[in-house]
Structure 1
């Protein structure tokens, strides 16, 4: 049961304040990292840690998420790397490839062909399904940063979200502003939600006002109600963020 719930989640103390999303917020640094504490279930048991690195330039971007679980969660395979790479245009992030590598499983990926307007979802290089995409559509990881653009507009958006297994039509909406109690401290955040009508995608995204609307909490709930909640424990900007990735990679060798 645990393995099935965790696999489903891979695929896909708060005070409420008045909505003030339109207030000006500076852009975050182009490069950095966020370390998350990872919690599982409604009771929020900590099961591991995740490291998210980003590099967002003027024309290109690269995003990574390395999640490592401990205890039973680690034994059940909750260890993976997600990567999203692509371009930047007037619609924001434009993914070209989204990939997932998980211990004990064949690699999975989504390949975006913007000229043809199609995304190809593959397992071990073999296409399993495909779907239509339009400007502004995202993958599961790039959505974390594209949400910043939608938050600034203050208006909901309809986007297709590609995972490593499916393409979901989702609504990305601004719910308001909240004050979060996180491992990094008390954070004023804009709360977002991306959800599909069929229940196959439900992601809460909280963007920190203090940190240029970077994602500081990600809560994923699957169709059966299983919850994976990532809460920011540290944020590093610039070369320090790159160093965090290098150190994490060296620890694997």
Structure 2
């Protein structure tokens, strides 16, 4: 079950008809990192930690996520790194390359060809499948930051979300404001749900109003009901490696 949840993070979701996205309130810091406590199951047992870094500058972005499982979860080799790079424009993030490096597995990647409106999904450099993309398409990691674009809106958006496994139609739905109690403290957040219309993807993303709508909680539920829940334990903003800790009371 644990393996299915973690592998669910790597599923490629994609879709077709982009809707007009709305800008969220405030701007995210141009660089920084978030450390998450990673919990699994209905009882919320902590199984490890994840570290997310981002840089948004000069019309480009780079995002990274490194997840380290511990204890029994670590025995399954559930350590991986995701990376997303691309450009920034008025519509938000526009991915060019998404990669996944998982212990004991060959590198998986998604290559975006915007001129051809096509994404190539590869393993160890060899194309395994391909799919169509349209305006607003995201990968599974860039989705964390793109979600802020519709968080303050009233209508859901259809979009293409790409990881390293498959292509599916997905919906990004704003669910309003909630108060969270996280390791970093009490946080007012806007909640957005991302789900595939035909199943295989169900993610809730909470964006902190105190931190420029940065993602401070990400909850993934698989088709079997298994839950992976990442909760922010520390938020650093500033230059990578020299960021000052942001404490929320």
TM-score (norm 1): 0.88
Match of 2:17 in 1: none
How far apart, CA to CA, are the structure 2 residues paired with 1:164 and 1:177? 31
Deviates more, 1:95-104 or 1:221-230: 221-230
Match of 1:108 in 2: 108
Match of 2:166 in 1: 166
Aligned length in residues: 234
Asked whether the equivalents of residues 190 and 206 of structure 1 are also in contact (C-alpha less than 8 Å), the reply is yes
Q: CA deviation at 1:58?
A: 3.8
Asked whether the equivalents of residues 178 and 191 of structure 1 are also in contact (C-alpha less than 8 Å), the reply is yes
Please list every run of at least 4 consecutive aligned residues from structure 1 whose deviation after the TM superposition is greater than 6 angstroms.
Answer: none
2:204 corresponds to 1:215:
no
Asked whether the equivalents of residues 63 and 83 of structure 2 are also in contact (C-alpha less than 8 Å), the reply is yes
Match of 1:199 in 2: 199
Match of 2:190 in 1: 190
* Cα gap change, 1:76 to 1:150, in 2 (>3 Å): same
Asked whether the equivalents of residues 9 and 221 of structure 1 are also in contact (C-alpha less than 8 Å), the reply is no
Asked whether the equivalents of residues 207 and 215 of structure 2 are also in contact (C-alpha less than 8 Å), the reply is yes
Asked whether the equivalents of residues 199 and 222 of structure 1 are also in contact (C-alpha less than 8 Å), the reply is no
How far apart, CA to CA, are the structure 2 residues paired with 1:180 and 1:102? 31
What does the per-residue CA deviation read over 1:3-62, in whole Å, with 9 as the maximum and x for residues that have no partner?
3443234436xxxxxxxxx99732121000000000011111000000000001141000
1:1-253 residue pairs with structure 2 within 5 A? Answer: 1-11=1-11, 25-239=25-239, 241-243=240-242
How far apart, CA to CA, are the structure 2 residues paired with 1:181 and 1:118? 41
* Cα gap change, 1:25 to 1:6, in 2 (>3 Å): closer
TM-score (norm 2): 0.89
SS in 2 for 1:6: helix
> What is the RMSD computed on CA atoms of the aligned residues?
1.7
* Cα gap change, 1:57 to 1:153, in 2 (>3 Å): farther
Gaps of 5+ in 2: 13-21, 244-249
What does the per-residue CA deviation read over 1:125-147, in whole Å, with 9 as the maximum and x for residues that have no partner?
11111111011110000000000
Gaps of 5+ in 1: 13-21, 245-253
Deviates more, 1:72-81 or 1:93-102: 72-81
Q: CA deviation at 1:167?
A: 1.7
Asked whether the equivalents of residues 153 and 174 of structure 2 are also in contact (C-alpha less than 8 Å), the reply is no
* Cα gap change, 1:121 to 1:189, in 2 (>3 Å): same
How far apart, CA to CA, are the structure 2 residues paired with 1:144 and 1:24? 13
Asked whether the equivalents of residues 34 and 233 of structure 1 are also in contact (C-alpha less than 8 Å), the reply is yes
Q: CA deviation at 1:224?
A: 1.5
Match of 1:19 in 2: none
Q: CA deviation at 1:155?
A: 2.9
